[in-house]
Structure 1
Amino acid sequence: MTERLAPGDIARAAALLREGALVAFPTETVYGLGADARNGRAVAGIYAAKGRPSFNPLISHFPDAASAFAEVVPDARAEALAAAFWPGPLTLVLPRRAGSRIDPLTGAGLDTLAVRVPGHPLALALLREAGMPLAAPSANRSGGVSPTTAAHVLDGLSGRIAAVLDGGPCAVGLESTVLDLSGPRPLLLRPGAVTVEAMEALIGPVDRPVPGTGGAAETLRSPGMMLSHYAPSLPVRLAARAVGADEALLAFGPALPGAGAVWSLSEAGDTAEAAARLFSGLRWLDAEGARLGLRGIAAMEVPMAGLGEAINDRLRRAAAPR
């Protein structure tokens, strides 16, 4: 049985992690599935629980920048970004430091590590209490919709992990921005709540990968780069301008008429509200659509402004062939 722990049960959660068990915990982005990042057997348990490809690396979470930079080699760009955005929804991919304690399996055997200091007080308290870095991908089955509540975690992983630390709904609602600083030019690997514009204001131009090239194993330098990812069981159709009665609708702004089921990301057209409601909406439409016998999910177009880029990235991966 998976224990559902209250915020006051941090000591219990930390004890389980020190024993090598898996504990899901809240961050400001989504719930993470945590294990001791130094313990290869515990990290292997993450891959097993999620059914995750072993070449897809995991983010290591730390209570502060000093702890993170003890495991990687930061440069001036990394230090500036950490000072501005940590704790917060930004992951940096940096060269692995010689003598790093992080197990190679956590980084999928690469010469880089993805590191982050989360911005959720419960996550930071757990990291301090556990006294270890935590490898923590999203706490769901691999390729599925990411969890933003403890109930979502239990929907997919109940009986497969030791516990979930319930900190309520996640504020941001989608995963962290991932920026690769292992080369001479910064490369955006995954858009998120920290925008490219905000990072460029500190470190100059940031390159973006060519869309659709994230499926090859050699390019997977961070989580969330599998082409088919964040996918519900029903097929997803993008940029819908009309919807049938046999489809569920993921709406943005005024909803299209005629759908068999509707989830509104934001009636007001607010991308921040839409980001926070995205994964819950995909989950609800997937379950409701299956219950009603609908043939798929039609997603209305979301503009690229604000968090729209990150939302569209998730929708594109949800819609990819699989």
Structure 2
Amino acid sequence: MIGPRILPANNESIQEAAADLERGSLVVFPTETVYGLGGGTLDESSLASIYRLKGRQSDNPLIAHVLDIEGARSLTTGWDDRCTLLAEAWWPGPLTLVLGRSGVVPDLASGGRPTLAVRSPQHPVARALLEAYGKPISAPSANRSGEVSPTCAQHVLDDYSADPAADGMIILDGDRCHVGIESTVLDMTVDPPRILRPGALTAEVLQNLIGSVEYTELHHTSASPGTMESHYSPQTNCLLVDVEEMRHRLSNMTERCVVLVSNPDHHEMVQPPHTLLAMPSDPDGYAQDLYDALRKADSEQADLILIESNGEEDPNWIAIRDRLMRAASDRPV
């Protein structure tokens, strides 16, 4: 077994990856958000392989990646002027639209739902792969289901190197993902449109284009990928705590903790035997570093991961707080 293969993203490797997709194989490719585990949207066998390799429940929908509005309209129903406004403003980019699913798209592409999630990725490697393949590519994040999403090629290799089902799978290396958390998912089948999964684009930004936008409550499981109650989770038990609880636990615990702290004034709380992982204090930097930090924390093999809670009043932290709440969900300590 040779295992998955990390290939530098260039014309030769992208053409090889497109040929693999044409044969029904899976390919991992970078987007601006996270790395995706991709198969042909119109290829039911490839879709089944995605669910099988990832260990994903078959009712958990996938996102279809397309180059442009024309590609999205070919897969969906109900596209309207609001969709055009959003796509013209934010495509290519980290915005996913949920619309009616066209009859040409297999049920499995949307977890059996009558809707389909579509987006046009910004990353040049993702776009080159879509061009070379010539058809839409469905892809969830390229991690084991429910675990921490990958933001670099090595993360994917770490997850699948021992899996015979991933033998020979191409991982196109497009460097680190610059957004770092998954796209905003906006349901356009309801009025007003509803954010099913928060991302880099906030409701406030979207409302400037199309008027009222609602949020699905945090921790709610919806018809969107990435909204299971426990998700983005490291193997190590994980707690999201305010600064006072963090101080109390670090002062009274004999077990070793890895602590993610974004406020530099709180770094001094973390003393041996505990380990500090200093996080950026701005939401963009924090989002970019988050999944790599969770993976690093897991690799420490500590007894507990503590994450400092912050940004509750700032809409730019909503997506990060969503990921942290799901990462720490229902974990006994």
Give 1:198 shift: 0.8
Q: Which residue of 2 aligns with 1:68?
A: 72
1:37 is aligned, of 26, 34, 41, to 41
**1:50-99 superposed Cα distances (whole Å, 9 cap, x missing partner):** 111111000000111211111112112111100100000000001113x3
- Tell me, which stretches of 5 or more residues in structure 1 are unaligned? 215-219
- Tell me, which stretches of 5 or more residues in structure 2 are unaligned? none
Moved more, 301-310 or 44-53: 301-310
The separation in 2 between residues aligned to 1:64 and 1:320, in whole angstroms, is 36
The separation in 2 between residues aligned to 1:96 and 1:172, in whole angstroms, is 28
**1:80-120 superposed Cα distances (whole Å, 9 cap, x missing partner):** 100100000000001113x33x2210101111000000010
Does residue 1:54 correspond to 2:94, yes or no?
no
Aligned-partner SS, 1:35: strand
**Contact residue 219 and residue 322 of structure 2 kept, 8 A:** no
1:178 is aligned, of 180, 185, 195, to 185
Q: Which residue of 1 aligns with 2:260?
A: 250
Moved more, 238-247 or 32-41: 238-247
Which one-letter code corresponds to 1:301 in the other structure?
A: S
The separation in 1 between residues aligned to 2:288 and 2:263, in whole angstroms, is 15
Between the two proteins, the alignment pairs up a number of residues equal to 309
The separation in 1 between residues aligned to 2:315 and 2:220, in whole angstroms, is 24
Aligned-partner SS, 2:109: coil
Aligned-partner SS, 1:105: helix
Q: Which residue of 2 aligns with 1:286?
A: 298
Q: Which residue of 2 aligns with 1:217?
A: none
Moved more, 201-210 or 119-128: 201-210
2:306 is aligned, of 290, 294, 298, to 298
1:10 is aligned, of 6, 11, 14, to 14
Aligned-partner SS, 1:227: coil
Give 1:302 shift: 2.3
Which one-letter code corresponds to 2:17 in the other structure?
A: A
Which one-letter code corresponds to 1:80 in the other structure?
A: L
The separation in 1 between residues aligned to 2:262 and 2:56, in whole angstroms, is 31
The separation in 2 between residues aligned to 1:21 and 1:306, in whole angstroms, is 40
Which one-letter code corresponds to 1:258 in the other structure?
A: Q
Give 1:240 shift: 3.6
RMSD: 1.4
Give 1:306 shift: 5.3
TM-score by length of 1: 0.93
**Contact residue 261 and residue 277 of structure 2 kept, 8 A:** yes
**Contact residue 64 and residue 119 of structure 2 kept, 8 A:** yes
Does residue 1:147 correspond to 2:150, yes or no?
yes
TM-score by length of 2: 0.90
